[in-house]
Structure 1
């Protein structure tokens, strides 16, 4: 089979820049842009707060007035009229005690009857002093004075003469005493009726003040209830219902109707919020249209890539068969020329023949390496549970000839089991072991060691050698395909080894890097990671590190 057509280059994966239409500008004054069309929530809440403060001030003022009236009425009844009524009652009792005592003494002439009379005089004076203090400056003050004069008239005209009567000086006529004391009774009764009337009036005032305070409390409660009901109605009509309507429109957009316009109603803030949401809807709708267009282009590019991959596979097949056949012929005939006519031609002819043989061989190695590089990552169907220790020992066996010639050593530590392609993982370790042996220091036996540890989700492998090392500034360059740090006359190779290692590690879900941490001894440390195997397996006992050179010996 011959290659008749040159495979088309893979299409560019870079998508053309697509302009996303800007979302419409939102006027905070509303959809129509005219100020004052709707009331703002801030003004509404400010008005509600003002009405609340006014209601509270009126309620406090009315409560204070009613409570003040109640306090004054109670003070008048308890602190003013109450002591006067009690003093009037004490005066009445004191006068009755005096009259009874004098009457008993007039009948029996027993001195013991005068004791209550003498004791009640002080009670009478205290009660009269309280009554005069209460009625001072009032019209009823004359009644108190008249009562006092009547009491003095009875006492001087009858009580004292009876108390001082002897056999020589007889007592006054009881009829005179009765007439004088009846006058006292009449005046004391009038004073009692005055105080009772004032007490009833003060009690009525107290009851009226209590009723007024009660009605004020009921009125305040009714006003508060009415205000709360109005606030709840206004909140529902002005805020909750518009928000519910806006939320219903947003749910319609979320459910897939992205072309449904979202309009806010009610206060200006909700109208502006609806406008913002609608602007976001328009922006998302534009992005959805853009993404659909991008997905369509991605599908087209995927088809182009699939077609290009088929062309590349055809090219790889042609390169592995048709291109290698002429290379083998060129290499074979150049080698025949070298063997048959070596020494028969001049020195320059022998040099040209050597260049031709070397070039054909390098081209063949390069084609084989490129084919190996291109095959990585085509499918994960070959993934299986791999014992990395066995893979490492197998890779070490493949470089056994080179190790023996250099009198080197490959130390394989305790390695885990992972999921992967055994052939690719063996190729990865084969390249790392080969580099560790190839880039050795002169007159120093190469030693390559591999070990691993788990950092949680990944196994981290470290391949360490004691060779010439790599400068940190070349840490990224060494993993680029065809990049070489040394000439071909010093170290053989195509410059694909570490690039192939990187591709295999990334194909298995890991990564590879150069450990540039300063070390006490020269050499290179290449680290790579592989995911931890998810399938639970019985614990494997630790295996001591094995030196391949010891096994071979």
Structure 2
């Protein structure tokens, strides 16, 4: 047997209550109409009929009194009530016939009319005629002998008529009262139906909704406390049962997801353990790299400086004393030692980015570019070059790294200048949202779009070293500096002339980036120069061309 749903039960209850209230309303309306009609009949017909019957008896008595007075006095003025009474009698009888359809009243009214007419003809008119003829004694005799009994018959008919109208009045009054009592009873019944329906709905909701929902809430709380394996079972209407089934399905899904989460947690713990191991290995590797940097800066460069120094001494002291091939071999050795020293210096500079750090500060790029232009002023004078900039922003970063960035980029613009025009370098910036878009543009030889990605690869060169000197690491250093500052750098391949390097830096940096452990404190910040040779500063490759050059 399929249980009725809660909605169906409430609908059925509301339908029954609505039907009962409709029937009560119809009965109430019908009773109210009948009561109003009875009240109207009582006020407009039965009441006036009862009043007219009493007035009619008074009028008849006035006629008898007037005739008796005329028989005694003989004055015509005494007959005025008699004549007025006759007219009033006729009016009242006509009016009463129009007020009722009751056969008994109409019969008594006709009887009264006939007896009153007979009394006037047989008694009253004869007594009046005898009095006018001067026979007052005869008139008295007529009125006293047969007249008294005949008028008693008229009086009895009038009294019977009045009594009948009283019965009609009482019956109409009782019917009106009954209708009012019925109306009140119907209203009380409607109230009782509403109250009973409210109680029924309350009990229905308590039994079919509140109690099952409370039980369901208790089961849900037990599951929420951790009893995920507990199956939720609740009795009640189909809606609550379906809700319990849905919660069971949700519990099972949560249980399955919880198992997945637990498995993922175990996997995450294992991954964290592996990451910790890898972090330890990476820390050891960093320490090894730092040791290598120390060795490269001291142990490797020391013999390299000696080789370069003594090769240079051989070149200066014995130049021209050996044959031409020996001089060439010595020049090759000097050049190779110097190039090796530049490569080591550039590689160390590349590795120090992000490790040898002093923390981020507010850096005014206008001042940084001005310092870079001042450092390269001698180079600009040699090539008749020009450096322009304006309205550069203040960003958060490490000033030495940003200074090396712009120095390398401007130096590359001078190095890869066009042979037919003086080099011009333009540095500009624009705010776009939360970023600064900075451009370093020149009018040099440019870079083919096909090499846009290769120019930022370490030791990547696009030109022979005898044509454009350098190690090919400059733009790789520039890229690492920009990425260390949370930005991006790329070659604008749509530039119509020269090279345009695009740089994006955050306009707001919330905090300094996490830094790896510092390199050993005994490592020199700047590598010493070889004997008889100035210290080498790695210059960045031109944004459009690529390779790193020594200045």
Under TM normalisation by the shorter chain, which class is it? 0.7 to 0.9
**Matched-pair contact (CA < 8 Å) for 1:440–1:446:** yes
Equivalent residue, structure 2, for 1:131: 100
Distance 1:55 1:532, change over 3 A: closer
Matches within 5 A, 1:415-494: 415-455=392-432, 457-494=434-471
Give the drift of 1:227: 1.9
Q: Superposition RMSD on alpha carbons, in Å?
A: 3.5
Equivalent residue, structure 1, for 2:241: none
Matches within 5 A, 1:293-312: 293-312=270-289
Q: Distance in 1 between matches of 2:107 and 2:466?
A: 150
Equivalent residue, structure 2, for 1:394: 371
1:527 aligns with 2:488: no
Q: Distance in 2 between matches of 1:119 and 1:353?
A: 168
Q: 1:147 aligns with which of 95, 99, 108?
A: 108
1:200 aligns with 2:174: yes
Equivalent residue, structure 1, for 2:119: 158
1:365 aligns with 2:342: yes
Equivalent residue, structure 2, for 1:32: none
Equivalent residue, structure 1, for 2:129: 167
**Matched-pair contact (CA < 8 Å) for 1:92–1:188:** yes
Matches within 5 A, 1:253-292: 261=229, 263-266=231-234, 267-292=244-269
**Matched-pair contact (CA < 8 Å) for 1:478–1:484:** yes
Tell me the matched-pair count.
Answer: 477
CA deviations over 1:58-93 (Å, ceiling 9, x no partner): 111211222222233332332146415642332232
Distance 1:85 1:406, change over 3 A: closer
Q: Secondary structure at the match of 2:48?
A: helix
**Matched-pair contact (CA < 8 Å) for 1:467–1:522:** yes
Equivalent residue, structure 2, for 1:318: 295
Q: Secondary structure at the match of 1:449?
A: strand
Q: 2:191 aligns with which of 207, 210, 217?
A: 217
**Matched-pair contact (CA < 8 Å) for 2:50–2:166:** no
User: Which one is further off, 409-418 or 108-117?
Assistant: 108-117
Distance 1:311 1:162, change over 3 A: farther
CA deviations over 1:413-442 (Å, ceiling 9, x no partner): 344444432321221111111122122111
Unaligned runs of 5+ in 1: 1-35, 37-42, 133-140, 254-258, 536-553
**Matched-pair contact (CA < 8 Å) for 1:157–1:177:** no
Q: Secondary structure at the match of 1:444?
A: coil
Give the drift of 1:405: 1.2
**Matched-pair contact (CA < 8 Å) for 1:104–1:113:** yes
Give the drift of 1:204: 2.4
Q: Distance in 2 between matches of 1:506 and 1:161?
A: 145
Q: Distance in 2 between matches of 1:151 and 1:285?
A: 113
Give the drift of 1:373: 0.6
TM-score normalised by structure 1 residue count: 0.75
Give the drift of 1:375: 0.4
Give the drift of 1:307: 0.7
